[in-house]
C-alpha cells in the first residue's frame, strides 16, 4: 500500500468518526476532532524514510515556564513527547512504526488520539 493510499484510508476513518480533515501533502494530514465538547487539533505525518507515523496534538497553551520542565515531562510520559512549537505553544507527540498499522489496524490511530487527549489533561 502506498503512503498516499494509507493517508486516504486514515482520512476516511477519521471522517467517519466525525473529524474534519485536510490533506496537506502526500504524507501530512491535518484534522480536528471534538471529544467531550472540546475541539482538538492534530497533525498526522508519515515519515517514509524512518518508517514511522507521527501524530501531534497541537494546543493553544502558550508555554511560559522553564524548559527543564518540558524535558522532565518527556521522561515521565511513556510513549508521548512534549514539545514547544516555533510559536511557543505546547504540542504532544506520539510515534509508532508503520508496521504497527499493518499488524494492528487503523484503530491504533484512534487509540493514540485518545491517549494524547488524556495526556493533555495531566499537564
Count, residues in the chain: 123
pLDDT (tens digit per residue) in 30-58: 999 998 888 999 999 999 889 999 999 99
User: Helical H runs in the chain?
Assistant: 3-16, 67-76, 98-104, 107-122
- Look at the pTM and tell me if it is higher than 0.75: yes
Go through the domains of the chain in sequence order and give each one's CATH number: 3-121 (3.30.1460.10)
Give CA–CA dist 46/8, Å, rounded: 12
Q: Smallest Cα–Cα separation from 3: which of 24, 21, 26, 23?
A: 26
CA distance 107 to 104: 7
pLDDT at 123 over 70: no
Q: What is the pLDDT of residues 60-107, one digit of tens each?
A: 888 887 777 777 777 777 778 888 888 889 899 999 998 888 777 778
Pseudo-torsion of CA 22, 25, 26, 27, nearest 10°? -80
Amino acid at each position: 500500500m502506498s503512503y498516499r493510499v494509507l493517508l486516504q484510508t486514515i482520512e476516511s476513518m477519521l471522517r467517519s468518526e466525525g473529524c474534519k480533515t485536510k490533506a496537506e501533502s502526500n504524507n501530512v494530514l491535518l484534522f480536528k476532532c471534538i471529544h467531550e465538547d472540546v475541539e482538538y487539533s492534530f497533525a498526522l505525518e508519515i515519515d517514509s524514510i524512518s518508517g514511522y507515523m507521527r501524530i501531534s496534538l497541537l494546543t493553544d497553551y502558550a508555554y511560559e515556564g522553564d524548559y527543564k520542565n518540558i524535558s522532565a515531562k518527556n521522561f515521565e510520559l511513556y510513549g508521548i513527547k512534549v514539545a514547544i512549537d516555533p510559536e511557543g505553544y505546547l504540542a504532544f507527540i506520539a510515534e509508532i512504526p508503520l508496521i504497527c498499522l499493518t499488524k494492528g489496524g487503523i484503530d491504533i490511530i484512534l487509540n493514540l488520539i485518545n491517549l494524547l487527549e488524556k495526556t493533555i489533561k495531566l499537564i
